[in-house]
Copies of this chain bind each other. A is one copy, B any other.
Amino acid sequence: MTRPRLFDEATVLGDAMNAFRRAGFAGISIKDLSDATGLTSGSIYNAFGDKEGLYRAAFGHYIDAVIRHRIETYIGEASDLDGLEQLFLSLLLPAPESGDLGCLLTNAAVEFGAQPSVASEGLAEGFAVLEAAIRQVVERQIGGGQVDLHVVRLLLLYQGILVLIRAGRDVSACPAVIRSEFEQLRKLLP
């Protein structure tokens, strides 16, 4: 019945995702997205409904392929502070979170803000996934009444790093900031 796509959905979503990361939603046209994905505009509309549908699909793909993947890579099941620290340090590796792409979660948060928008669902899910991963490690490793404080502190650090990378600022001091942040947390280990 349902015949398979003639295009590879993961590849197309990856291309669209990176295009949106580079230019945002308002800053890119269907023609640009057509060039980026190799699909004609007709195929895009057939497959995703409209530009918003493609954005939603690309955002979902980003949460799975980038955020969840990163969390599984660095935290996985044996979650400890070292893994979380490595996750933060990995943000500073040249690719693929480099400045000319940017984090779609951060970019969407800034582009759309808190008002209801095409990004609302993705933002809610993305922040929930990220915060849950951080909280899981902090709660298990440190616990206590200050868990919320540590989680927010790390979330602030995470978003701050992505903004500075995106802006092309000098981030050579960031690894030292991350290390000192986690050193501080390790002092609280039971």
- Considering the complex, give the chain B residue whose CB is closest to the CB of A146: B176
Q: How far is the CA of A23 from the CA of B110 in the complex (A)?
A: 9
Given known A26-B24, A99-B113, A107-B110, contact A177–B152 (CB-CB < 8 A): yes
Please state if B110 and A111 are interface contacts (CB–CB under 8 Å): yes
A148 at the interface (CB under 8 A from B): yes
Shortest CB-to-CB span from A122 to chain B, Å, is: 11
The 8 Å CB contact of A164, one of B100, B156, B176, is B156
A153 at the interface (CB under 8 A from B): yes
How many chain copies does the complex carry?
Answer: 2
Please state if B109 and A166 are interface contacts (CB–CB under 8 Å): yes
A102 at the interface (CB under 8 A from B): yes
Please state if A155 and B164 are interface contacts (CB–CB under 8 Å): yes
Interface hits, A150-173 → B, CB 8 Å: 151-153, 155-164, 166-169, 171, 173
Given known A24-B26, A110-B106, A153-B177, contact A169–B99 (CB-CB < 8 A): no
Residues in chain B near residue A11, CB distance under 8 A: none
Chain A residues with a Cβ closer than 8 Å to the other chain, count: 44
Please state if A173 and B149 are interface contacts (CB–CB under 8 Å): yes
Residues in chain B near residue A152, CB distance under 8 A: 164, 171, 173-174, 177
Q: How far is the CA of A151 from the CA of B156 in the complex (A)?
A: 15
Closest 7 CB pairs of A and B: A114-B168, A156-B160, A160-B160, A109-B167, A26-B27, A159-B163, A152-B173
Chain A residues within CB distance 8 Å of chain B:
22-24, 26-27, 99-100, 102, 106-107, 109-111, 113-115, 123, 127, 148-149, 151-153, 155-164, 166-169, 171, 173-174, 176-177, 180, 184
Beyond A110-B110, A156-B161, A160-B163, 12 additional pairs, beta carbon < 8 A = A24-B24, A24-B111, A99-B114, A106-B163, A109-B167, A113-B168, A149-B173, A156-B160, A156-B164, A156-B177, A159-B163, A162-B163
